């Protein structure tokens, strides 16, 4: 898996983007026509590879020396038979010079040869199953916004699976229409990376890819637990993070997603009835299901209002440490839902979005250490760069990445 930053004039960019999107493991960090801005972006987030259009370089000769000092590999696209282009390629220490007329033939191979892959931290992904024994506690709100926050922090692809097979509303919350769903995989003879990839829907505003729930409740029973296990295992091998939203309770399909999970994000709200039900679930995790304490993470949603139980009291009754606390945030939660936009993108500074981002950071830090999230101190994601994450038309979503 590696990130790519493209600096090219508009006419060339679309072609490069569509080639890059089809290179295994590549995902787009950004694209620019402005080389100075590209340098700024890439010093904040080092790409695994920069693809640079020689025409842009020619217009920015004052930056030649600076380009020659960057730490990431550069592939220059230009006239292979032009002496001046070759000189510029040497000056910026380009790893390769790909002739502008040959990019459809040669760029893919050059990218694979020269990209610096993300370290092996994400060799296998983390599967996070968002669960509660109770309905309506905020599972889907957490799953959707957590997936987006994780994608923003790692600057990479995240899979989001709607396992609420009867009444899944992940795509509704994202404001996305999906032409495919998990139901497409119910009867395929072999479930593999390609079939799973085809069933997923890329988001236009994030590097999250969604496996939607079936179109109606009548299709839910077609999805067998072993199919779910298969799908989730494939996603885990191909994405740094896989976030699974579930229906409430212990269905067979849920148990498959719970068994395979690295972490079960158990959502509770601070009300007596919910706490009692969550306690029963936690007992089952520790008893019948034999899960380690480390696997279970308790998240208190709608915490902190005076009329409810204190989160710390709830955690001590449940006998677990609280992993995260999310405030009540009716204003923004409802507004975002009514706009058909995920809160994390609609209002990233909203208290609930910030709370979810804190959980996302903790989860990333567990894999990467504090390195990445330290860059993201502001509490609000750097939309400027994210906005530039390559426009992924339906024909060119980021590939399922493999390190």
Ligand X SMILES: Nc1ncnc2c1ncn2[C@@H]1O[C@H](COP(=O)(O)OP(=O)(O)OP(=O)(O)O)[C@@H](O)[C@H]1O
Do residues 230 and 191 make contact, with C-beta atoms less than 8 angstroms apart? yes
CB of 215 to Mg ion, least distance (A): 17
140 is a site residue for Mg ion (CB under 5 A): yes
By C-beta, is 75 or 326 nearer to ligand X?
A: 326
CB proximity list for 397: less than 8 A, separation 6 or greater: 21, 202, 209
By C-beta, is 31 or 269 nearer to ligand X?
A: 269
In angstroms, the CA 274 to CA 86 distance is: 68
Residue 206 interface partner, choices ligand X, Mg ion, none, CB cut-off 5-8 Å depending on type? none
171 is a site residue for Mg ion (CB under 5 A): no
Stretch in the footprint of ligand X (CB under 6 A) among 82-90, 136-144, 217-225, 256-264: 136-144
Count residues binding ligand X (CB under 6 A). 19
301 is a site residue for ligand X (CB under 6 A): yes
138 is a site residue for ligand X (CB under 6 A): yes
Which residues, 158 to 217, sit near ligand X by CB under 6 A?
164
By C-beta, is 244 or 326 nearer to ligand X?
A: 326
152 is a site residue for Mg ion (CB under 5 A): no
| Helix boundaries (H) for 45-169 | 54-59, 64-67, 83-91, 103-114, 139-154
309 is a site residue for ligand X (CB under 6 A): no
Residue 269 interface partner, choices ligand X, Mg ion, none, CB cut-off 5-8 Å depending on type? none
Stretch in the footprint of ligand X (CB under 6 A) among 10-18, 193-201, 291-299, 327-335: 327-335
- Strands 201-202 vs 208-211: parallel, antiparallel or unpaired: antiparallel
CB of 226 to Mg ion, least distance (A): 24
Beta bridge partners of 76: 52, 97
Residue 333 interface partner, choices ligand X, Mg ion, none, CB cut-off 5-8 Å depending on type? ligand X
DSSP 63-77: GHHHHTT-SS-EEEE
CB of 334 to ligand X, least distance (A): 6
358 is a site residue for ligand X (CB under 6 A): no
Residue 277 interface partner, choices Mg ion, ligand X, none, CB cut-off 5-8 Å depending on type? none
| Helix boundaries (H) for 155-295 | 170-174, 193-199, 225-238, 252-260, 272-286
For ligand X, the binding residue among 263, 328, 341, 403 (CB under 6 A) is 328
By C-beta, is 188 or 349 nearer to ligand X?
A: 349
In angstroms, the CA 230 to CA 37 distance is: 43
By C-beta, is 207 or 246 nearer to ligand X?
A: 246
Q: Is the dihedral of CA 96, 97, 98, 100 positive or negative?
A: positive
Which residue, 111, 31, 41, is CA-closest to 73?
Answer: 111
In angstroms, the CA 109 to CA 116 distance is: 14
How far CA 167 is from CA of 138, 219, 266, 297, in Å, comes to 14, 11, 19, 25
266 is a site residue for ligand X (CB under 6 A): no
CB proximity list for 144: less than 8 A, separation 6 or greater: 160, 170, 173, 174, 245, 342, 344
What residues make contact with ligand X under the rule CB under 6 A?
132, 135-141, 164, 248, 301-302, 326, 328-330, 333, 337, 352
What residues make contact with Mg ion under the rule CB under 5 A?
139-140
């Amino acid at each position: 898996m590696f990130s790519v930053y493209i600096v090219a004039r508009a006419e060339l960019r679309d072609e490069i983007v569509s080639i890059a999107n089809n290179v295994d493991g590549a995902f787009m960090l950004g694209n620019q026509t402005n080389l100075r801005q590209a340098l700024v972006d890439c010093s904040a987030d080092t790409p695994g590879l920069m693809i640079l259009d020689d025409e842009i370089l020619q217009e920015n000769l004052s930056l030649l020396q600076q380009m020659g000092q960057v730490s990431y590999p550069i592939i220059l696209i230009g006239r292979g038979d032009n002496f001046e282009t070759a000189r510029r390629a040497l000056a910026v220490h380009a790893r390769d010079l790909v002739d502008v007329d040959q990019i459809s033939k040669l760029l893919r191979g050059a990218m694979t040869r020269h990209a610096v892959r993300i370290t092996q931290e994400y060799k296998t992904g983390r599967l996070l199953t968002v669960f509660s024994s109770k309905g309506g506690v905020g599972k889907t709100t957490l799953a959707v916004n957590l997936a987006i926050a994780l994608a923003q922090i790692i600057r990479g692809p995240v899979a989001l699976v709607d396992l609420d097979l009867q009444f899944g509303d992940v795509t509704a919350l994202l404001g996305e229409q999906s032409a495919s769903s998990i139901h497409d995989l119910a009867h395929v003879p072999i479930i593999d990376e390609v079939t799973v990839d085809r069933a997923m829907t890329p988001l236009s505003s994030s590097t999250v890819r969604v496996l939607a729930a079936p179109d109606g409740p009548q299709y839910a029973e077609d999805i067998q637990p072993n199919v779910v296990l298969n799908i989730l295992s494939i996603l885990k091998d191909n994405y740094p993070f896989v976030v699974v939203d579930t229906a409430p309770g212990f269905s067979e399909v849920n148990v498959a997603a719970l068994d395979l999970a690295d972490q079960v994000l158990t959502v509770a709200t601070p009300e007596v009835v919910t706490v009692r039900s969550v306690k029963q679930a936690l007992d089952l995790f520790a008893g019948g299901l034999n899960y380690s304490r480390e696997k279970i993470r308790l998240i208190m949603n709608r915490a902190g209002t005076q009329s409810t139980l204190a989160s710390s009291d709830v955690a001590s009754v449940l006998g677990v440490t609280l992993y995260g606390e999310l405030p009540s945030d009716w204003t923004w939660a409802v507004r975002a839902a009514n706009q058909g936009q995920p809160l994390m993108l609609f209002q990233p500074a909203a208290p609930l979005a910030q709370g979810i981002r804190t959980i996302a950071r903790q989860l990333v830090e567990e894999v990467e250490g504090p390195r990445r999230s330290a860059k993201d101190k502001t509490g609000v994601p750097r939309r400027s760069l994210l906005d530039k994450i390559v426009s992924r038309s339906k024909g060119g979503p980021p590939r399922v990445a493999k390190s």
